[in-house]
Every structure is written in C-alpha cells, then in structure tokens.
Amino acid sequence: MDDKKFALGSSNHDFPLIFERSQAGRRAAQPPKADEVDLGELLGAENLRQTAARLPEVSELDLVRHFTQLAQRQFSIDGNFYPLGSCTMKYNPKVNEEAAKLFSELHPYQDPATAQGALELLYNLQDYLGEITGMDAVSLQPAAGAHGELTGILIIRAFHQANGEGEQRRVVIVPDGAHGTNPATAAMVGYEVVEVASDKNGEVDLSAFKEALGPHVAAVMLTNPNTVGVFETNILEISRLAHEVGAQLYYDGANLNAVMGYARPGDMGFDVVHLNLHKTFTTPHGGGGPGTGPVGVKAHLRDFLPVPLVKKEAEGFSFDYDLPRSIGRMRSFYGNFGNLVRAYTYIRALGKEGLKQVSAMAVLNANYLRIKMKEIGFNIAFDRINMHEFVAQPPAGLKTLDIAKALLDYGAHPMTVYFPLIVKEAMMVEPTETESLETLDQYADILSEILKRAENDPDYLAQAPYHTPVRRLDEVKAARKPVLRYSFSTD
Amino acid sequence: MNYLPHTLRDIDKALKVIGVASLEELFADIPAALRKPEMDLPQGMDEVALMRHLRELAKKNTVSGPNFLGGGAQRHFIPAVTPHLSMQSEFVTAYTPYQAEVAQGILQATFEYQTLMSELTALPISNASMYDGASSVAEAALLAMRATRRNKVVVSQGVHPETREVLATYLQAFETSLVELPLQDLVTPEVAVTGDTACVIVQNPNFLGSLEPMLALAQAAHNAGALFVAVVDPLSLALLHAPGHYGADIAVGDGQTIGNPLNFGGPSFGFMVVTETLLRQLPGRLVGQTTDIDSKRAFVLTLQAREQHIRRSKAKSNICSNHQLTALMAAINLAALGPQGLRELALGSVKAAHHLAESLQAVGLEVLTGPKFFNEFVLRSSLPPRQLRRELAGQGIHAGVPVPADYGLGDTVILSTTELTTAKDIDMLVSAIKQITRDRALEVSHG
C-alpha cells in the first residue's frame, strides 16, 4: 500500500477505496466449504468464466473499519438536522427495523398458505392507505414515488383508451412548481406536458388553468399542499373543471405529511394518488432508496391497477390476479415488502389520532421556523400561513448555494436549494414534526451567524465549507471526463 | 407512540411566535367542506403491544425448514458483518447525496459498488442501481430504443415471466412491437434478427435453468445492428462467462442473490451496466470521481443532465430514488466474500443442484433442464405444481415454484439450491417427492 493512500482517519490524505485496502489472500466471510469439481462437466466449458472479477480481499476488521469510517463521512437524520423541503426527512423509528426483521426470511414464491401473516399485513395496509387518502383501492407494488407516478399515469392512459379517448387525450397539465418527476413521468408515457403558471399567492393560476384545459387533456398532476407549502384553496374548483372536460386528477403524495387527518385527496376530487412511504410513513431514505410508492385509485380505476392485489376470503388471504383490464405488472413480486412492513408498523404505532398529530406538528414547526428565518433577514417567497414547508430567499446579494455550503460546517444539513424553479435562489425548508423547537432555534441561530460572518468577510461564504471531510468539489471535471469506476494499476 | 417532542408549553410558545390562536387556525386554508375527515383506523399502540402484534402476525408465516425455492429470489449466506455495516444509521437515514461534502460515505460506497458491478459483468459503466431486475430490463429496452432509434424489442421466453410482464407494461405507451422468442428444448433458438430491432433480451441462466448460447445470440443481434441485453444472476458470474465476455451491450438483473435478504420479494435492487458508447443514454444516478478545491479525491453525482430533476420532461427516465441501501448492502457483501467467497457460494449452489437432480433421477423422476445447468432446473411433477408445493409445505419443505402453463411443459416446477442446501435437505426433499408421487400413482390407479 503506497503512502499516499494510507489513512488512519488523517485528513491530509485521500481516503482509501476498498480496492486500495486489498491484499491477495485475505478474506472476511467464510461460506460453507465447497470442494472444487470439474465445472466444465456441470456447466459446459464454453460457458465458463476465464478471468475472475477483481473483488477486494480484506480481513473482516479491515472491512468494518472501511465502512464504519465511510459512515462517519456521511450526514444522516440520526446525526444531523436535515430540513430538506419536499423530502420529509423525519425520524425513522427503530422499532420499524425490528419489525421488518421478523419478515425478512419469507420467499416470494412460498405457498401462500405459509405466508398468511404477511398477506394479512399487506391486505390491512392496502386498507389503511386507502382510508388515509380517501381512495377506494390501493396497489402496494410500485418501488418508489416516481415509479408510483408512472403506475398512476399508465392507469389514467389505460382508462382513457378503454373509453375510446386514448388518441384524443395527449396532454398532461402540471403546475410550474411541480416536482421534476411529474413532467418526466408524463413524457415517459408519451404525453405532451403543458405547464401552468402559479399566481401571486403561490397557487395554481385559475385563469391560466382554465385556458390550458380542454378535451385533449388526459390528466392534471398536482401536489397539495404544493411545493411552496401552500394549500390549493381552489382545489374543489380545479377538480370540478378538470372533470368537466373528462381529465383525471392526479395527486403527487410527496406532501401528504401536511394534511393527514385534516383533509384527504380522495375528498378533494383526486382520482389517483401515489404515496412516498419513505416520506410520510418513515421508511428510511437509505441514501437514495429503496423508496416505496403505493398507488391509490377511485373505484372507476380499480380494474386498471397493477396485479396482484391482496384479497381476503373465507379460507384466508390470497393474491388476486383477476383484473382483466390491469395495466400489468410494474415490478417483480409484490413490491418493496420490507418497507411495507415498516410503514404498517408506523401506522399501527401512531393510530388515527397520532397521524393527525403528526400533521399538526409538522405544520406548526414549519410556520415557527418560517417566522424565525424571516426575523433574521430571509425573505419569504409567499409570506402567509404555510403548511409543512415554506420557500425562503437569502438577503440581497447572497447566494443560496453559499449559505447551504456554510451550513455544513455547523453540522446542519441545508434545506432543498434552487427548487421550486419558480422562485429565484429558492430555499425550500421542511423541518418535519419530529424536531424540537430547540433544534429549530439552533438552526435559525446558525443561519443568523452565517449572515453576520458573510457581512464581515465576503470571501468567507464563497469558500465554505471548511471542516467537512472534503470541501467544494470540481463538478465540471467530474462531468467532462467521467471516472465512474476504480482503475486497477494493472489496467 | 408518535415520536413527537412537543410539550403543551412548546405548542403554546410556537403558536404565540406564529401569531395564531390555535392549531386549527394553521389549517384555515383547507376548505370547510374537506375538513376533518373521519378516518377509520385503529388506535395507536405502545411498543410492547406493537411488537406483540407484529410477532403474532409473523407467527402466521412459516420460514423454517429446507428451502428449494428460486425463480428470481434465493436464500443465500449473508455474513453477519454485512447487515451490521450496511444498516448503520448514517447510511440508513441519509438522503440522496446532493450535498457531496457531507455525503462522501454514500458516494464513495456507490463508486465502489459501480466498480464491483463493472468487474462482475465485465462491462465498463454501471449506474448507481435501479429498482429491481424486472424494471431494469424494461429500462434497458427503453435505452436500446433511444440509442438505436428503432422500435422493435425481441425478448426470449426464457426471461422471467414477471420480467416480461413488466417489460410489456413499460412499453405499452410506445409504438413498440414486442416480440417473444419461444424456447426450443428449454433454450432460446438462434433466429434471424431483423434490421428494425432495437435489442434482443436473453436471460442466462434462463427462467427454466438452462444455460443459453449467449455468444451466438449476441452475434445474431449485432449482425442486425441491434443491441444485446443480457439478464444475469450476478452470483452466477463467479463461474459463468460475463456479459462483457460475449459482447453484451447492456447487462441487467436483480442483485438479491449477492447480499439481500429475501424480504418476500423486495426490496432488493436492480443493476444496469453498459458499454462506453451508451453512457449518455443511461437512466438513473451515476457517481463520478473528482477532486475538491484542496485537490483531495472526492466523489459526486455526475452527468445529471440525463435526469428528471434537471431535464424534467426531457429526462432519459423518470427514475428518482434508486435502491441505494440494498445496493450498498451488496457492495459490502461482495467485499466481505471476496473473490474466493463468491466462488464458494456459486460452487456450493451448483454442486447441490446437480446432486439434487441426480438423486431425483435416481428414483425415476424426470429432470427437464440440462444436463448442463447452474443452480436451478425444472422437474416434472406428478400432480399440479401448486398442489405439490402445498403438500411439500405440509411436510415442512419449501419447494416447487410452479412453471407457468404457457411454457407448454405440463405439470412442472422449478427447484433451486444454494450453498446453504445440505445433503440432509436433499434427502428430505427427494424422499418427500418420491412419497407424494407414489401416493399419487396409487390414487390414480385406484381412482
């Protein structure tokens, strides 16, 4: 191992890659012993691999050090306040993890008679999510929020086709503040995307919306509360107008955390809903998945859901493949079951009253932090009582990116930055309900200190952060000449 | 339980700061007609009651006993160190690594994952992971259609039936012709590929356990200017030739076998590894190496111009979250196993399968796959496959994934072995099936 790569936590050297810790002949795990045999005979000589994959060879302690030190180079909810707008970075209860372990050994193709507990859990979760959202039927299959969106839009497409309107309806309307996945999903399914503007209150501009509507519209995709944290007060009118021209109303469930027990998308008139269990229902984000994106629909769309659903009969629970108009399957097996167990556990822990209290405290915290940030000099993009999140802007002359980077030195994660696109230098802040007022006060204090330091030393912000495992990165270099894997010195 | 820190005093204090009189006032924007829906949900529970309830549910499942279930998910050895390291709070509760300075843990581990998948598949460019094997195949078809500007997708019937269903679902919105190649003698026949074909998709080992003539099939695809998509079990690549070796343009599959628990089918993760020329068409996240302003090596999400949060309706895919944690688990597991350990897993699985097949043949049962196969094969059943599975379950054995009727093989099941399969497990299964078959024969002759 050359000196440059040798690091015992020293900050002056590159942190080594697992491949750079490798020494031929070392090993960690010891599987059951298997004596060599004539593989040509069992597999056919022409099918055999000639050169082995260069996996690292490390001892178990080397492995433990490596991945423990990597973990230490990482912010997380458990270690840091993480107020990312629209991401709902709330606390992920530990009991969920214990619950998931109880079911981790089940094979998807074992006889359903030997998996009745799992099926009962799935059946009840379909029911609970339907109840929370006000929808008539729920598929638990989609593997992420965007995957749920794809499922939902395919369902809407199949519905219009079944009505002979497949050709006619070629447009999906999204507000200009929508999450990027909304237009990407609509385009992936072959729809033309039309964006409608927001009004000065941060809501869908009704007159622009009316103008965009017509018999060519397949669906309207909305988030409510929307991405600036404002409840669409005209939602019933929007729903009426959309349905009048035969369009289907799609609910992006990213912001459901604001309204549980206070309002339901089904009652607002939405026909399809996707949920992000990794947001509202506390399944871990995992550094970028696995998410889980169940889809709920009104009765007229039930027949189009992916198969299988779980049904209950006299002899027990079973998978229901009998949906002749189903769009088909969206992934293998039954969805991200491990996460479905976690979400079920969370819903059962909190119950009806607890879920409502979650939304109340999420909205309370967001409004509290909005006032605090306003007091120290941030501009609030739509300054009114907001829901679970709000959008701020830095004082004139300062860049959002610089403030975000400065926060890192204080062990605080930035808010979502430069989104939504409709607000310049946007900072979208969502503290979630699991944070205490003291944490919110500290965050405001840190922001205040950063603003003061920026005033006294203009260069300070542009250079931040200073004390993170690495400092600002050369992203242009990364993209211009992509290095996407380790190169062995023998290459 | 509700995990909330707020005391009544906190709530009062916050309401005062905000300048409203009550919590209800915070929700005043919600029209009265929508307010306070009645949700028919159970009451909350304390932790003891909650875990008691969940254990009761878990008791209604049976997971103990010999396990010969495969068909896209298999029970493999996962050393204790793998879940311990991958389930560290810092990995589990992190978000997507957009702030690279404080996300080097996830970013570097993903770079290592990309390297490992590239090594296993012998192709240069791996993305950061996909949802699962099935949706990865669908994304591979979309990629091939973009790259070739052709609209015909040819898929072997040897590709997992659920994967083919997902492929059909994804393609329904495109003007695509999806053509299935029926198997001949359980293997994909070498057919002429037409010039309008975007890609040919073949799974190796295929759903019925057969080893496919990948080299010849790849050549047939390339001769027509089509891409060749190899759907592979990453564990098999410890012993079998890899997609890059036989000229595949895209390798995809499900990573469950290299380090994820079964989880009743999910989450695991999908992977996608491609040639250099397809880099800019690749869906999903990518981690690249760069340096920071102090010239230190660092890792960052790169080439994001392909993605939905930048390109919106012009993105290559709508994929946002991938399956980072389960992919990380596989990366840690591969590093724990090392080249020798991975080989031992594969070798143990193959040997057990051949031992099982021989033992079944020795008592007069018919194995349809082979004679060359990896760790799964098709067995003729004397009774309907679901019934066989149930009767075996009654004897405490999990075995017999039903082969769908459209393969035209009659009553058949897939059996699968791994390095965890013992000689005793095999004896148990063979004598159970023998007994069931004999009883059935008696029933029929007396019936």
What is the secondary structure of B68-86 as a DSSP string? Answer: ---SS-------THHHHHH
Record the tokens describing residue B373, joined without a space: 């196969």
> Between the CA of residue B106 and those of A132, B90, B185, what are the distances in Å?
33, 9, 45
Bridge-based pairing of strands A316-320 and A427-429 is unpaired
Alpha helix ranges (H) inside A134-201? 145-162, 181-188
> Between the CA of residue A226 and those of A251, B124, B254, what are the distances in Å?
10, 41, 35
Query: How many beta-carbon pairs under 8 angstroms link A with B?
Result: 674
- Measured between CB atoms, which of B215, B297, B312 is closest to A184? B312
Q: What is the mean pLDDT of chain A?
A: 95
Same domain, B325 and B377: no
Q: Which of A381, A361, A436, A449 is nearest to A410 (CA)?
A: A449
Q: What is the pLDDT of residues B386-434, one digit of tens each?
A: 999 999 999 999 999 999 999 999 999 999 999 999 999 999 999 999 9
Same domain, B367 and B283: no
Q: What is the pLDDT of residues B43-82, one digit of tens each?
A: 999 999 999 999 999 999 999 999 999 999 999 999 999 9
The secondary element (H helix, E strand) that includes residue B442 is helix B423-446
Query: What pLDDT was estimated at residue B175?
Result: 82
Flag whether residue B79 sits within 8 Å of chain A, measured between CB atoms. Answer: yes
Q: What is the pLDDT of residues A270-292, one digit of tens each?
A: 999 999 999 999 999 999 999 99
pLDDT band, very low/low/confident/very high, at B447 (cuts 50, 70, 90): low
SS3 content of chain B, % helix, strand, coil (to 5): 45, 15, 40
Min Cα separation B195/chain A (Å):
24
Same domain, B124 and B195: yes
- Measured between CB atoms, which of B18, B101, B342 is closest to A408? B101
Q: Which of A217, A216, A214 is nearest to A174 (CA)?
A: A217
Residue B29 lies in a domain: no
| Phi, psi (rounded to 5 degrees) for A140 | -95, 5
User: Range(s) for CATH 3.40.640.10 in chain A?
Assistant: 94-350
Residue B9 lies in a domain: no
Same domain, B346 and B314: no
The conformational region for residue B67 under phi > 0 = left, psi -120 to 50 = alpha, else beta, is beta
Domain edge (last residue) among B333, B360, B375: B333
Residue B73 lies in a domain: no
Same domain, B318 and B361: no
Map residue A333 onto helix, strand or coil.
coil
| Residue in the block written with tokens 């605080």 | A412
Number of structural domains (chain B) is 2
Whether residue A374 contacts residue A383, with contact meaning beta carbons closer than 8 Å, is answered with: yes
Record the tokens describing residue B56, joined without a space: 């009761």
Residue B75 lies in a domain: no
> Cβ–Cβ of A108/B337 closer than 8 Å?
no
Map residue B101 onto helix, strand or coil.
helix
Bridge-based pairing of strands B376-380 and B412-416 is antiparallel
Same domain, B320 and B383: no
Measured between beta carbons, the chain B residues lying within 8 angstroms of A87 are 95
Same domain, B320 and B411: no
pLDDT band, very low/low/confident/very high, at A12 (cuts 50, 70, 90): low
Min Cα separation B117/chain A (Å):
9
Record the tokens describing residue B344, joined without a space: 């031992």
Query: What pLDDT was estimated at residue A112?
Result: 97
Query: What pLDDT was estimated at residue A298?
Result: 98
Whether residue B367 contacts residue B377, with contact meaning beta carbons closer than 8 Å, is answered with: yes
d(CA B203, CA B188): 9
Q: What is the pLDDT of residues A361-386, one digit of tens each?
A: 999 999 999 999 999 999 999 999 99
Same domain, B120 and B239: yes
Bridge-based pairing of strands A171-175 and A217-223 is parallel
Give first-to-last CA distance, chain B, whole Å. Answer: 59
pLDDT band, very low/low/confident/very high, at B207 (cuts 50, 70, 90): very high
> Cβ–Cβ of B54/A372 closer than 8 Å?
no
In three-state form (DSSP H/G/I as H, E/B as E, the rest C), the secondary structure along B255-298 is CHHHCCCCHHHCCCCEEEEECHHHHHHCCCCCEEEEEECCCCEE
Residue to substitute from A192, A194, A329, A483, interface B, most B β-carbons within 10 A: A329
- A-contacting residues in B 8-37 (Cβ below 8 Å): 10-11, 13-15, 17-20, 23, 25-31, 33-37
Measured between beta carbons, the chain A residues lying within 8 angstroms of B87 are 97
Query: What pLDDT was estimated at residue A490?
Result: 76
- A-contacting residues in B 336-395 (Cβ below 8 Å): 336-345, 347-348, 350-351, 354, 372-374, 386, 389-390, 393
Alpha helix ranges (H) inside B75-157? 81-86, 89-92, 104-121, 133-148
d(CA A291, CA A368): 29
State the residue range of the domain holding B107: 81-333
A185 has pLDDT over 60:
yes
| Phi, psi (rounded to 5 degrees) for A295 | -125, 130
Q: Which fold has domain A355-477?
A: Aspartate Aminotransferase, domain 1 (3.90.1150)
Flag whether residue B405 sits within 8 Å of chain A, measured between CB atoms. Answer: no
Q: What is the pLDDT of residues B253-269, one digit of tens each?
A: 999 999 999 999 999 99
- Measured between CB atoms, which of A27, A331, A485 is closest to B340? A27
Min Cα separation B181/chain A (Å):
20
- Measured between CB atoms, which of B10, B31, B173 is closest to A157? B173
Angle at the Cα of B336 (from B334 to B340), degrees rounded to 5?
75
> Cβ–Cβ of B119/A54 closer than 8 Å?
yes
A412 has pLDDT over 50:
yes
Q: What is the pLDDT of residues B115-150, one digit of tens each?
A: 999 999 999 999 999 999 999 999 999 999 999 999
Same domain, B120 and B179: yes
Query: What pLDDT was estimated at residue A9?
Result: 47
> Cβ–Cβ of A436/B291 closer than 8 Å?
no
Measured between beta carbons, the chain B residues lying within 8 angstroms of A278 are 321
- Measured between CB atoms, which of A72, A186, A473 is closest to B292? A473
Same domain, B324 and B345: no
A471-474 own/partner pairs: CB under 8 Å, 24+ apart:
A471/B101, A471/B292, A471/B293, A471/B294, A471/B296, A472/A405, A472/B101, A472/B292, A472/B293, A473/B100, A473/B101, A473/B290, A473/B291, A473/B292, A473/B293, A473/B298, A473/B300, A474/B290, A474/B291, A474/B292, A474/B293
Mean per-residue pLDDT, A103-109: 98
CATH number for the domain harbouring residue B378: 3.90.1150.10
In three-state form (DSSP H/G/I as H, E/B as E, the rest C), the secondary structure along A223-267 is ECCCCCCCCCCCHHHHHHHHHHCCCEEEEEHHHHHHCCCCCCHHH
- Measured between CB atoms, which of B47, B61, B351 is closest to A116? B61
Measured between beta carbons, the chain A residues lying within 8 angstroms of B15 are 364
Instruction: Give the architecture-level CATH label for domain A94-350.
Output: 3-Layer(aba) Sandwich (3.40)
Min Cα separation A2/chain B (Å):
15
d(CA B17, CA A286): 35
Mean per-residue pLDDT, A159-176: 96
Residue B299 lies in a domain: yes
Q: What is the pLDDT of residues B234-251, one digit of tens each?
A: 999 999 999 999 999 999
- Measured between CB atoms, which of B36, B60, B345 is closest to A31? B345
d(CA A273, CA A275): 7
Q: What is the pTM of this model?
A: 0.97
Residue B236 lies in a domain: yes
Map residue B232 onto helix, strand or coil.
strand
Bridge-based pairing of strands A379-380 and B376-380 is unpaired
A10 has pLDDT over 60:
no
> Cβ–Cβ of A143/B135 closer than 8 Å?
yes
> Cβ–Cβ of A98/B51 closer than 8 Å?
yes
A3 has pLDDT over 50:
no
> Cβ–Cβ of B61/A99 closer than 8 Å?
no
pLDDT band, very low/low/confident/very high, at B316 (cuts 50, 70, 90): confident
A256 has pLDDT over 80:
yes
B168 has pLDDT over 90:
yes
Same domain, B303 and B379: no
Q: What is the mean pLDDT of chain B?
A: 96
Residue B147 lies in a domain: yes
| Phi, psi (rounded to 5 degrees) for A272 | -135, 140
B20 has pLDDT over 70:
yes
Give first-to-last CA distance, chain A, whole Å. Answer: 17
Same domain, B290 and B371: no
> pLDDT above 90 covers what percent of chain A?
94
User: Range(s) for CATH 3.90.1150.10 in chain A?
Assistant: 355-477
> Cβ–Cβ of A147/B172 closer than 8 Å?
no
> Cβ–Cβ of A92/B314 closer than 8 Å?
no
Domain edge (last residue) among B333, B355, B387: B333
Mean per-residue pLDDT, B269-275: 98
DSSP A424: T
Query: What pLDDT was estimated at residue B409?
Result: 98
Domain edge (last residue) among B293, B312, B333: B333
> Cβ–Cβ of B302/A479 closer than 8 Å?
yes
Measured between beta carbons, the chain A residues lying within 8 angstroms of B256 are none
Flag whether residue B219 sits within 8 Å of chain A, measured between CB atoms. Answer: no
Nearest CA in chain A to B86: A67
> Cβ–Cβ of A87/B162 closer than 8 Å?
no
d(CA B163, CA A330): 9
Residue to substitute from A26, A84, A110, interface B, most B β-carbons within 10 A: A110
Min Cα separation A362/chain B (Å):
10
Measured between beta carbons, the chain A residues lying within 8 angstroms of B311 are 180, 184
On the 0-12 / 13-18 / 19+ scale of CB atoms within 10 A, A14 is: middle
Q: What is the pLDDT of residues A117-159, one digit of tens each?
A: 999 999 999 999 999 999 999 999 999 999 999 999 999 999 9
Q: What is the pLDDT of residues A14-68, one digit of tens each?
A: 999 999 999 999 999 999 999 999 999 999 999 999 999 999 999 999 999 999 9
Whether residue B297 contacts residue B151, with contact meaning beta carbons closer than 8 Å, is answered with: no
A2 has pLDDT over 60:
no
> Cβ–Cβ of B265/A337 closer than 8 Å?
yes
Residue B367 lies in a domain: yes
Residues 6 or more apart in contact with residue A50 via CB below 8 angstroms? B241, B245
